[in-house]
Structure formats: structure tokens, C-alpha cells
Structure 1
Amino acid sequence: MIHRPRILRASASIRKIVQETILQPQNLIAPLFIVEGENIEEEIPSLPGYYRRSLDKTLEEVFVLFNLGIRSILIFIKCPDERKDNEGKEALRAEGLMQTAIRAIRKHIPEMIIMTDIALDPYSMYGHDGIVKDQEIDNDTTIKILAKMAVSHAQAGAHFVAPSDMMDGRIAALRQSLENAGFHNTGIMSYSAKYASCFYGPFRDALDSAPGFGDKKTYQMDPANRKEAIKEVLLDVHEGADIVMVKPALSYLDIIREVKNATNIPVSAYHVSGEYAMIKAAAQKGWLNEDQAIMETTLSIKRAGADLIASYFSKDIIRILNNL
């Protein structure tokens, strides 16, 4: 034989030096759920091991994440039901929980990159990502509110705004509003290819943001479509996105690779709540090794082409990497 590929698999040390896909702490984005109050740290039942925290506890968690080497967080707010409406007023309030959290994190851990969710579903009485008119989502009215929301987050100190709404034209609207307000250095991480997936259930439990009627298929993408994802991504790049995202990750590894090949800007992927919950549930049943499943799935997302991975497993990944 001339070729013996097994030579490069003969020992752990050899496998390490020829490893093609390298996962590092700076590749990870840690999602955080923030609630009003103090000294609150409540586990999310459908996300075992993951928590909703009040701002004081969130700051403690951000310190932990930063010391582990994670440099990016993605913030989500749980809005009280009594403040939800169909106009996004709470989303724009300068002293709202999102804005207050941004300022606090920026003050206490200034080196941490703060990314903020831009969508109306946490604030909506209908649980939809936009303004509802006659049982439909009004695209153009919505993007005006989202643009104001982005400026509000930038004023509070967000490094990146992350529109997850999938409205048409919203990246151009956000970019122009940020420019007009003088926030030339505030980035946009766009959920460019966000699919209408069944894997968002635990996330909606975490924020109590499930749609009150219908579904989100008129604005989120059909899981059957591939070319449409590239169209959406290229539109967002043209409109000024700095980072593009594919969501979910595991069922859309082919889309991550297509997007990576089609663009020259960083690509992120969201390892979503349902994907996390499946691994947790199977591990609790003893059907698979949790740590091995975490690393295999996360490496697959990186191997597919994701530069950044938003993952509820972020702390676990660091722990596993440190023990290798």
C-alpha cells in the first residue's frame, strides 16, 4: 500500500495536530434571558440547566462567561404581560429592562461584546415579531419600530443589534437609522435565514412569547427551501449586515455551508433551544453521552462553516475543551 490514512489517526496527539476544525471560546455566543426583579435565578423547565435571571444575577453570569473566554453574549428580555401591546412601546422605553441591562453590562464588563435581540415578539400581546393589523403582520410599520428599537439599544451601549424578525427591508432601515443617529460603529448581526422551525418551543417558554394566533410562516422561511436562504442572505449583505445568521443550526448544516460559500462576511449559526433540549433529554435517559453529543454537534456546526455559534451549551463546551 502507498496510502495509509490510519497513520494520521494512530494516537490522540496525532489526531490533535491534524484536526481540521478547531473550536475555541471566542467562537461562542452565550444567549441570556433577563427578567425583572432581584436575586432571581429560575431554571427553565424545557431548558434543563439553563436559567432566567434578574439583572444582578445576570451580571454575575457575564463575569463567569468572560473569565471562561467567551466574548459575546446575546440578550433576550422577558417582558411582563401587563406591558405587552401591539405598538412596541416597552421595547422603545429608555429605562426598559433591555436598555438598563445593556448599560449595566457595558459598565461592569466593558470588554464583553453585547448583542441584543431586535424583534417585537417578547413585547407583543400577540406573540408575533411585528405589528399585527387585521390578523396579519404589517411589514413596513414593523420595520419603523424595529429601527427605533435598534437606535435605543445603540444609545444604551449595544455593540451589535440582532434583528430576528425576518421582515423585508429591515436591515436597510436599521442601518440607515443607526447612521442617521450617529451610531456608525454599531454592528448588525442579521438573522438572515431564519426558518419556521418546530425547534423554538423551549425558547418561547423561556420568554412566554409563543404566537397568540396562527404561526410565523408568513415571515420565517419554509424548511424545504435552500435557494431562498441565499437570496435572503445576499439581500441582507447588500443592505448593510455585518454578520449573517442561519437559524436553526443542526437541521440546516447544508444552508450554513451554502451561506459561507456565497458570502465574504462572518457567518453565525444558532444552536437553538429544541436542539439543546433533545440532547439533554436523551442524555437524561442514558441514551447517549451528553458531553460527546455536545462536542460532535457543535463541531458539525463549525465544520459546516459557522464562524460564530450561539449556543446554550457554551459553558459546557468550555468545560469539555479544558478537560481534553
Structure 2
Amino acid sequence: MKLNTLRPRRLRLSAPLRVMVRENHVCLNDLIYPIFVVPGTNVKEEIPSMPGCYHLSVDNAVRLAEDIYALGLRAIEVFGLPAYKDEIGSSAWDPQSPVQCAIRAIKKALPDMVIVGDVCLCQYTDHGHCGQVKDHYVDNDATLKLLNKVAVSQAEAGADIVAPSDMMDGRIASIRQALDEEGFINTIIMSYAAKYASGFYGPFRDAADSAPHFGDRRQYQMDPANGREAMKEIDLDLEEGADIIMVKPALSYLDIVYQARQRCQRPIATYNVSGEYAMVKAAARNGWIDEKRIVMEELTSMKRAGADIIITYHAVDVAKWLKNGEVEA
């Protein structure tokens, strides 16, 4: 065979050709934008470790949702800082807490916006752990009852999807039963199925005021060294009724996303977490990287690994870049 018959470069000669044969595309419909709601009114305070992300009161959260909807984004995940904390995190299911109020207000303003509620307790407990603590140990089965209350309260507020992020055993089956018993048979469960005990969460704990006051979360979140265990966690959550499974974080765990894609026929999400976001922003502000190019490369790698859905703080920037023709999808 002559050498000049083997020229893959022919398909890379121009931007239209490259787009024509591109295997994976980042689309706005793939993206979920996380927001942080807080008590009060007319609050908009930038989170120092997450440039471009804000603590928002409910009124400003609605305005943001309307703005990003106009850009073409169709999904948000709502996190919140409560007005009060206690040992069981009871503000997490309080119908007047910022998360529930924001879900109701955004759904009223934008009925077609897909709203995800984060089902966890860490930012609501006075100890900062993701469940009910007994003798410095998070009690798995006692915590399930509390998570049920959180999920039902978010569904009542209008959440389309509830997303348990606690990593308790059996929580998907427990939440599914609780939702169904309250008539929310169509509420989707997106499980944080393989959530690792990662150092990439640092800025989020600043954003959500959720750092544990003692110990760490390694007794319930996954060991970063383990891959086979992630497949077990994913299989269990699928058996229990998860509609969507998630791998978190994204970039250091794309092998887990890929393995999940090979065995799972349901949608797969990955979370491009706060530390990953903050590193890009810091490097870009120092002029060390081309932010647009890096962000699109990272998001494309998540799609290439097998993710259908990407939760990312870059979503608003990406929407603006695509709208202005500044990047290729």
C-alpha cells in the first residue's frame, strides 16, 4: 500500500471538516448549572474561591435562572445555606428554607426549567457530616429516614430530579419508596452513585459552609484508589431504582465514567466539581492557559468517556461562548 493513501489529516484540514467528522459534541442540553441560594433578599455575593459563582437570595436566583434560560441552558441544580443548623439537619426539609423556596419560585417563573435538588445534610447539620451522627459515626439507617424527608420536601416544592449525594447504603431504594408513597412517582432520582472522598471539593465547602467539624467523610465517601468498588456501587443503585447515575468528581475519574458506560444503559452524569473549576479560573486569570480552549477540551473529554450529562460551573460561560461563536461545540 502506498504511503499517500493513508492520510487521516485530510479530515482535519478545515474547521467545517473537523466539525463534520467530530465524534463528540458539547451541547447546552448536556449541561446542568449549580447555584447556591441563601437566606435574605437582594443578596449576590461572589464566592472567593469560585470566581463567577455567587451566593444568591431567592429573588436573585430567579433572575439568574431567567438569564441563563435565555442563553439556552435548561437545567440547574440548587444547593443552599440554611437559616439555622442542628444535629440532624432539619432545615434541609423545612419548606421555608432557601432551597425549597428557590425551587418553587424558579419553577413558577420557568416551568420548563429542569430543576435538580441536592439531597444531603452536610450543610444543614451543626457538625457538617452528611447524616445523623452517633458517637462520631454517621448512622446509616437513621440517616435514610432524614434523606427521605429532604427528597419529598424538594419534590413537593417542584423539583423534577432529586439527587442524593450522601453515599449512605440503601438510600436510593429508601427515597424511591418515600417518593412513591407520597405520590411523586414521576420524580427522577439522579444518584451520586460513585462519589469519591476527593480533595477537589475544597471550594465547594467554602461555598456551602459544609466542612465537617471533626474527622472527614472517608467512612462513607469512596476511596479514590478503588475502581471495582465504584462498579458495585453503581450496580446497587441501578438495582434500587436510580434513573440516572453520577460519577463525582469528573476529571480524575474519567476511567470510572468509561467503565460505567460499558455496563450501564441508563443516563450517566458526571460532576465537574469546584476544585476543577477553581484551578482553571486561577490559571486563566494568571494568563497561563487559554480558558475557553481548556474548558471545552475538559467537557469534551467527559462526553468522550461516556457522560450524557455534565454538571459544571462553567455552564454559563460555555453558553455565552457558543452563542457568540467563540468556541466550537
Question: TM-score, normalising length from structure 1?
Answer: 0.98
**CA apart distance, 1:98:** 1.7
Q: State yes or no: 1:238 paired with 2:239.
A: yes
Runs of 4+ in 1 over 6 A off after TM superposition: none
In structure 1, the partner of 2:131 is 130
Q: How far is 1:196 from its partner?
A: 0.2
State the 1:319 CA deviation.
2.1
Q: Is there any run of 5+ residues in structure 1 with no aligned partner, and where?
A: none
Q: CA deviation at 1:320?
A: 2.2
Cα shift readout 1:124-155 (whole Å, capped 9, x = no counterpart): 10111111110010000001110111111111
Percentage of identical aligned residues? 53
Task: Report the counterpart of residue 255 of structure 1 in structure 2.
Answer: 256
Q: Equivalents in 1 of 2:208, 2:276: separation in Å?
A: 17
Aligned to 1:33: 36
Q: Alignment partner for residue 9 of structure 2, among 6, 9, 14?
A: 6
Match in the other structure for 1:46: 49
Task: Please give the alpha-carbon distance, in whole angstroms, between the structure 2 residues aligned to 1:60 and 1:50.
Answer: 14
CA distance in 2 between partners of 1:71 and 1:321 (Å): 15
CA deviations 1:96-147 (Å, max 9, x no partner) are 2221111111111110011001010010101111111100100000011101
Is 1:77 the equivalent of 2:80? Answer: yes
Over aligned residues, Cα RMSD in angstroms? 0.9
Match of 2:27 among 15, 24, 27: 24
The 3-state SS of whatever aligns with 1:158 is coil
Structure 2 contact 271–311 (Cα < 8 Å) conserved: yes
Number of equivalenced pairs: 322
Between the aligned partners of 1:152 and 1:320, the Cα distance in structure 2 is 36
1:167-246 map, 5 Å: 167-246=168-247
Equivalent-residue separation in structure 1 for 2:159 and 2:289 (angstroms): 39
Q: Which amino acid is the alignment partner of residue 319 of structure 1? A: K
Q: Is the 8 A contact 2:82 2:97 kept in 1?
A: no
Shift of 1:318: 1.5
Q: Which amino acid aligns with 1:22?
A: H
Q: Is the contact made by 1:192 and 1:232 (CA closer than 8 Å) also made in structure 2?
A: yes
Q: Deviations over 1:1-28 (max 9, x none)?
A: 2211000001111111111111110000
Aligned residue in 2 for 1:56: 59
Q: Name the stretch that deviates more: 132-141 or 278-287.
A: 278-287
Give the Cα–Cα distance (whole angstroms) in 2 for the partners of residues 319 and 91 of structure 1: 33
Preserved contact between residue 89 and residue 122 of structure 2 (Cα < 8 Å): no
In the alignment, structure 1 residue 93 sits paired with structure 2 residue 63:
no
Paired amino acid for 2:16: S
Secondary structure in structure 2 of the residue aligned to 1:184: coil
Aligned mates of 2:11, 2:133 — CA distance in 1: 58
Paired letter, 1:9: R
The superposition leaves residues 192-220 of structure 1 with CA deviations (integer Å, 9 ceiling, x where unpaired) of 00000000010000111101000000100
Which ranges of structure 2 fall in alignment gaps of 5 or more residues?
none
Whole-angstrom distance in 2 between the partners of 1:262 and 1:126: 37
8 Å contact from structure 1 (residues 249, 269) kept in 2: yes
Counterpart of 2:114, as a letter, is: I
Residues 171, 240 of structure 1: 8 Å contact kept: yes
SS of match in other structure, 1:122 = coil
Residue number in structure 2 paired with 1:293: 294
Secondary structure of residue in 2 paired with 1:48:
coil
Q: TM-score, normalised by structure 2?
A: 0.96
SS at match of 1:31: strand
- Report how far residue 187 of structure 1 moved: 0.6
Please give the secondary structure, in 1, of the residue aligned with 2:138: strand
Asked if the contact 2:38–2:81 (Cα under 8 Å) also holds between the matched residues in 1, the reply is yes
| Counterpart code for 2:98 | L
Q: Which amino acid aligns with 1:6?
A: R
The structural deviation recorded for 1:70 is 1.2
Give secondary structure in 1 for the equivalent of 2:258: helix
